[in-house]
Structure 1
Amino acid sequence: MPIPKEDSVPMKPDRLRQAPPFQHLIAIGTSTGGPRALHAVLTAMPADLPAPVLIVQHMPPKFTKSLADRLDAGSAITVVEAEDGMKVEKGVAYLAPGGYHMVMIQDSSNVYRIKLSTDDPVSGHRPSVNVLFHSLVPFSGFKKYVVLMTGMGSDGAKGMQELALSGAAATIAESEETCVVYGMPRAAVQLECVTHVLPLHEIPGKLSVMIQG
């Protein structure tokens, strides 16, 4: 996937100003039932969210662009299908494109960027939540808030455990009562790496309180 011509994502009109470096980052993994769950969380985020949001939703190629567009239309923050080389900025949600692993890297100028690859599937998936979460472990310059929502299987649980052990500010699993499939969150709970188990409608509020409070 080519590097975009612009260095960063075009911001919505009320946020065209230059953003300072972020101090918080949200990472979300989800699968079956995920589009509804992502809509519930992202549309509740304030326009001035002081964090980027990195998202892996298990979905085939060509479907993630339309999902990103739908989420963007209903959200105060900007939601995009991630492209290789995009600068990671607060107030923007980056959705991993179907068929590509997504990680975050820091370039030679210390700028955080998206990196995409077609490496082998992990946990049976590409994109894989574990791949994204694992890429965030080395970074210590900001607080990390990690979320696993509805989905079949266990992708993301080991990555969440790694982030918890490396000092993540919070690890959140969607509770069984609101999951379409209580698989991925259950796997994380079983690894005893979850700080908060919350129904879907409470997740965005908890994130806002922790980040902005």
Structure 2
Amino acid sequence: MTNLEGRVLRRRALREPPPGSVPTWPCSPPSPPAWKKGRRGQRRRRGFPADPRTVFEELRRASAGGPADYAGVTWERVERDEGVFWPCPDPDGPDTPRLFAGSFPTPDGRARFHAVTHRPAAEEVSAEYPLHFTTGRVLAQYQSGAQTRRVDALRRAAPNGFVELHPDLAGRLGVAEGDEVRVVSRRGELRAPARVSPAIRPDTVFAPFHWPGAARANSVTNDAVDPVSGMPEFKICAVRVERA
């Protein structure tokens, strides 16, 4: 696998896959060399290599000379060095732990910065909804929690959703640690235990988005999108908080 810092790592199987599961490689279209293995030009998956090393060798050949060059990332080198950074065009040469350390891929080698005009949030706070609401993650859970909530150790570390609020806000609301609160927006509400912390701003409340049901954070968030990227504005909306 290649992680977000560009390091190529080997991930070993912990156990045999459960019945009915499939590896990821058949879920993607084979590369052109694999298509050519079909008789008379037929495009078929039969005969596509299932051995990880064989697939990896094809990736090395296919990426050679490209921006993400894996040609020098040999199987043995990954094993020996516990990870190799791309681009790495030469098996005997250095890898690239830091991309663009000396220059950038521009005519003069210098980076380009583009100024942007600030655009406020699509939804401002008001007398009825006086607080900002934002969402995020906790260490022990991932995304919707569909996988991590099945792991006993992770479930024990983070068993349920919560609403984080500042002690000043908690005091005004008469809320103590562990009290159930409602976070209400123009679209919906969530219910979860309060977590009182000075780490958050007094005008903002936070909830993680890993849990379904009453603690589902996206029952509250705004569906406004960025006009250019189309990315939803999940990280800011206006809410009020009440004791449940």
Q: Same fold (TM over 0.5)?
A: no
Name the structure with the higher strand share. 1
Name the structure with the higher helix share: 1
Larger C-alpha radius of gyration, 1 or 2?
2
Q: Determine which structure has greater relative contact order: mean sequence separation of CA pairs < 8 Å that are 6+ residues apart, divided by chain length.
A: 1
Q: TM-score, normalised by structure 2?
A: 0.19
Instruction: Give the TM-score normalised by structure 1.
Output: 0.21
